[in-house]
A and B are shown apart, each in its own frame.
Chain A
Amino acid sequence: MRTAPLIAIEVAAFLLIILESYAFFTYIVPVGTLPHDLLRYTAEAALKVALTFGLGLLWLVVILALTRLYVRSSPRAPSPNPSS
């Protein structure tokens, strides 16, 4: 079935969402303990946002890497003369 590798990429995307949600709650949410110190509180809030975007970026990088792997391992289709 030709869609099997692409389904595997979809499943990887799904599992990454679950794993990254776990990482978000375990490692990012607890960051920040001194709300009375405004400067530190702001820096920690910015760090949380940056780490969350980092998780999003990681998701994109992994999916792109898997896709590149799929493209490189795909057999090239025969190419008749294009007519359009």
Chain B
Amino acid sequence: MEEQRYVVFLFPSVSYALKAEKILKAAGIAHKLIPVPRHISSDCGVCVRIAEDKERDVEGELRGRVEWDKAVLL
């Protein structure tokens, strides 16, 4: 079995991350709020992790509704 690969979305602040989480929840996209991995620097300590193949869907949901800094492949 191939290991699941993830992408994390980084946000300018915790409240953006929370807002994104609500949007993804409403859209039914599996996600997880996790601490920002140590090797990625971010002012906001939490990020939203999603399956790699959902990156486009997530961008589509978030665009125009909540800003994000970047998406990083883990």
Partners in one complex: no
